[in-house]
Amino acid sequence: MAGRRNRWVSMAAWLGIWAMLLAALVLLVIVPGWLLALLLVPLALWLAGTRIGRQAWSATEVAVATIPQRLGSSSVVVVGIAGVVGVLVALLAMAAGFAATLRQSGSDDTAIVLRAGAQTELNSVLDHDTVALVSQLPMVRRTPAGQPIASGELVVVAALPKRSTGLDANVELRGVGERAWDLRPNVRVIAGRRFTPGLRELMVGKRALQQFAGVGVGSSLKLGGQDWQIVGEFASGDASESDLWGDVDVVGPAYRRGSGATSVTVRLTDASAFESFKAALATDPRIKVDVKTTRDYFNEQSAQLTTLINRLGTAIGLIMGIGAVFGALNSMYAAVAARTREIATLRAVGFRALPVIVSVMLETMLLATLGGVAGAGIAWLLFNNYTASTLGANFTQIVFAFQVTPELLWRGLKWALAIGLLGGLFPALRAARMSVAEGLREL
Amino acid sequence: MKYLQLVWAALLRRKTRTLFTLLSIGAAFLLFGLLDAVRSDFARAGATVNGVNRLVTISKITFTMQLPKSLLERIRAVPGVADVTYANWFGGIYQDPKNFFPTEAVSPNFLDAYPEWRMSAEQRAAFRNTRTGAVVGARLAKQFGWKLGDRIPLQGTIFPQKDGSNTWIFDLVGIYTVDDPKLKAQENALLFNWDYFDEARQFGNGSVGWYVERVTDPARADAIAQQIDALSANSDHETKTQSEHAFQLAFVSQFGDIGLIVGAIMAAVFFTLVLLTGNTMAQAVRERIPELAILKTIGFTSGSVLGLLLAESVLLLLLGGVIGVLIAGSVATTLEAATGAVFPPIVGSAAIWARALALMLLIGLVVGALPAYRGLRLRIVDALAGR
């Protein structure tokens, strides 16, 4: 009877441990930083203030002091977790960088008008009359001189060789109207000058210059069968930096698009004017267009790729994390086995089971934290501001920089702690259940 | 082989440790299988046997610029061109922009240029004779539950109809299949008749997006491409002709350096794995020093002890690795069923297995080397004395 009862008790304990573990993992992943920091306070108080807590603290000191004797297996925990966190943070930083580049391209008080159903500028065609009609609406802000801040723009695709591969890749050649500068006040010339309207002159975005060969200020290149001069370089901090800019009235004929445009972007009198602007366009029978705030337009463009990379990064991190958990389990079981006599001695001189469990857990968490910090640090060193490019919605290269944000570093650290928790708990329980008498006899 | 039992017994000595190590190795090779499949799929894009005898002609200015249809007969007359066909990118949306798949308006003989896309003769005839007919790949049909006779409405993103409407409705008259598992991903296009498209669209009439030429002799493909481009030299619609392979490779490379990203991830994974299994093996040998000394005492040479230990680590890697790659195969199948995404074959791919097995052997030897060397240098007297 007693045997059966014992089995039930141990099974209940087993289930309890698993439930606790899962709850702890969920908590770890969702809790905000301040809450976790707050939890550290009672732990510290317990370690310092109670008798059993002080026991746990000195047991931990012993465990940590013996780490140098087990450097090989301890480093497995650190490196394994660093690998997981490094890859996770780097992949998420790629998604964050891409999303941020496109998010900065948009705002709530500018709106983009495309032909109905077109989705992207590349697919859209607007005739000259539509551009004029849209620009003249009263919701469009005007310059002090009374001109509407609206730019009918023409996006065409040019092929230029990439510096890295020498292979042709698509670059966005954007013909802009003369009000484009008022529309995008963040665009500033950092070398050379603006293009002269009416001439075959171009400006190159900072990022495009980094990625493509032969577009430096002062060089000339052949596009659309004609020679163009690059007269300036601009920076804007958003997706425009991946473009070449020219006068829409010159780009159009060169690409046989006449006086048409692909989009009109306007600055609204203020963000609240968007709804009436949209309504005015929808009710005008002369035009069939779609309108969005530029913030929505650019966010939609980044959503798909960002979600994909985030999911992939998490999935890869999970698989690597499973590997790291088993690695940590092996190492910590080995650590407990190597310290059998030590732990048995502690128990013999009056240390209870709980301090022993806590000490093994704290040791693992310490190693996990080291791994998490190392992994996140390496990802930050190698990949923060690392530039890459991919195809955007207009089938042209969008250049962006990886962003290793504090939020991502924190997320990496939480993953490290979760792996440490899983990898440390079972070895800790084994350490506590060890028979003292047998342990003391162990060589 | 006769020592297999001995190696096996060594692995079973600490079952939990071996199990955990196997699971770690399995996780690493699960990732390897999935990532390598994606990487090789990108690297292979367009590198099909059939692709070599096809050329693609696009506008030299930019791939979105249209070419006059009048080029058709002139290209056909170029010596060495067996057949020429043409198409337009339509950019249609079915229900939601997220349901992306290629939609193209194609000439009547388009499918003849792609013999690897198989469709019955009746369906081919039906496609030719139905003005609003469309054919789709089997995978796409399965994804959306389409059957022959269904009417499929698409939203045009580039081309509205003459009345300004963006809605185009097609009658499904054929479903094509692709047998080669490596090309299964091509079963995701929707093709419809160019003549209907050209009649109904609002603008751009009489122009085509690109031409595809089949050449009789692939060895002369470059010369033929130059001759085709010479047809429109110095006109306002100069062309650029290249092999389909080169065309697709250039396009795919624009998504980014997939090889580099995958390579970096795999480096991190395997670096960790080497350290982890190396540590396990070192532990396993350290514990067994007296046993190894006994083996030597009863007549095993140092060389065979070395061999035994190396065999042990290689066997560990092979077991975990094979399990990992097999799991990768079933994960891919599950993903395909759940999302409709097309995954390149993993378990059926000899190339992936070859790379995976080579890695298992290599890592097995690397992590076994140090412990095995220790076994080799072991002095019986010291070891038995526990020194």
- HEC string of chain B equals CCCHHHHHHHHHHHHHHHHHHHHHHHHHHHHHHHHHHHHHHHHHCCCCCHHHHEEEEEECCCCCCCEECCHHHHHHCCCCEEEEEEEEECCEECCCCCCCCCEEEECCCHHHHCCCEECCHHHHHHHHHCCCEEEEEHHHHHHHCCCCCCEEEEEECCCCECCCCCEEEEEEEEEEEECCHHHHHHCCCEEEEHHHHHHHECCCCCEECEEEEEECCHHHHHHHHHHHHHHCCCCCCCEEEEEHHHHHHHHHHCCCCHHHHHHHHHHHHHHHHHHHHHHHHHHHHHHCHHHHHHHHHCCCCHHHHHHHHHHHHHHHHHHHHHHHHHHHHHHHHHHHHHHCCCCCCCCCCHHHHHHHHHHHHHHHHHHHHHHHHHHHHCCHHHHHHCC
**% pLDDT > 90, chain B:** 44
Q: What was the pLDDT predicted at A4?
A: 62
Same domain membership, residue A262 and residue A364: no
Structure tokens at A420: 């440490």
Mean pLDDT calculated for residue range B301-315: 90
* Phi, psi (deg, nearest 5) at residue B143: -60, -40
Mean pLDDT value across chain B: 88
Separation of alpha carbons B211 and A177, rounded Å = 35
Shortest Cα distance from A60 to chain B (angstroms)? 24
Mutate to test the interface with A, among B14, B17, B19, B62 (most CBs of A within 10 A): B62
A327/B24 Cβ within 8 A: yes
Same domain membership, residue A233 and residue A175: yes
Domain assignment present for A393: yes
- Does residue A297 register a pLDDT over 70? yes
Ranges A99-103, A108-112, A429-433, B69-73: which has the least confidence: A429-433
Domain assignment present for A4: no
Mean pLDDT calculated for residue range B233-247: 87
Of B20, B25, B271, the CB nearest to A83: B271
For the stretch A151-185, pLDDT in tens is 999 999 888 888 888 888 889 999 999 899 999 99
Domain assignment present for A256: yes
Same domain membership, residue A264 and residue A156: yes
Q: Would you list the DSSP string of A91-160?
A: HHHHHHHHHHHHHHH--TTEEEEEETT--SGGG--B-HHHHHHHHTSTTB-B-TTS-B-EEEEEEEEEEE
Shortest Cα distance from A87 to chain B (angstroms)? 6
Residue A110, CA distances (Å) to A148, A149, A153 in order: 13, 10, 14
CA atoms within 13 A on the CB side of A137: 30
Same domain membership, residue B100 and residue B184: yes
Separation of alpha carbons B114 and A8, rounded Å = 67
Does A123 contact B at CB distance below 8 Å?
yes
Domain that holds residue B88: 61-237
Same domain membership, residue A368 and residue A237: no
Same domain membership, residue B379 and residue B350: yes
Look up tokens 């779609």; give the residue. Answer: A290
Three-class SS state of A266: strand
Mean pLDDT calculated for residue range A409-427: 90
Exposed e or buried b per residue across B276-297, where buried means at least 16 C-beta atoms within 10 angstroms of its C-beta: bbbbbbbbbbeebbeebbebbe
For the stretch A21-31, pLDDT in tens is 777 777 666 77
A87/B255 Cβ within 8 A: no
Shortest Cα distance from A147 to chain B (angstroms)? 31
B236/A225 Cβ within 8 A: yes
Domain assignment present for A293: no
Count how many domains chain A has: 2
- Does residue A1 register a pLDDT over 50? no
Residue A341 pLDDT level (bands cut at 50, 70, 90): confident
- Does residue A3 register a pLDDT over 60? no
Same domain membership, residue A172 and residue A50: no
Domain assignment present for B242: no
- pTM to 2 decimals? 0.87
A122/B97 Cβ within 8 A: no
- Does residue A94 register a pLDDT over 60? yes
Residues 374-393 of A with CB under 8 A from B: 388-391
* Phi, psi (deg, nearest 5) at residue B349: -95, 115
Taking CB atoms and an 8 Å cutoff, what residues of chain A touch B385?
A: none
Mutate to test the interface with A, among B155, B201, B262, B265 (most CBs of A within 10 A): B265
Mean pLDDT calculated for residue range A227-242: 93
**Parallel/antiparallel/unpaired status of strands A397-401 and A387-391:** antiparallel
Same domain membership, residue B68 and residue B33: no
Same domain membership, residue B194 and residue B74: yes
Domain assignment present for A335: yes
Domain that holds residue A52: 43-103+302-441
Mean pLDDT calculated for residue range A363-384: 94
Taking CB atoms and an 8 Å cutoff, what residues of chain B touch A119?
A: 93, 97, 157
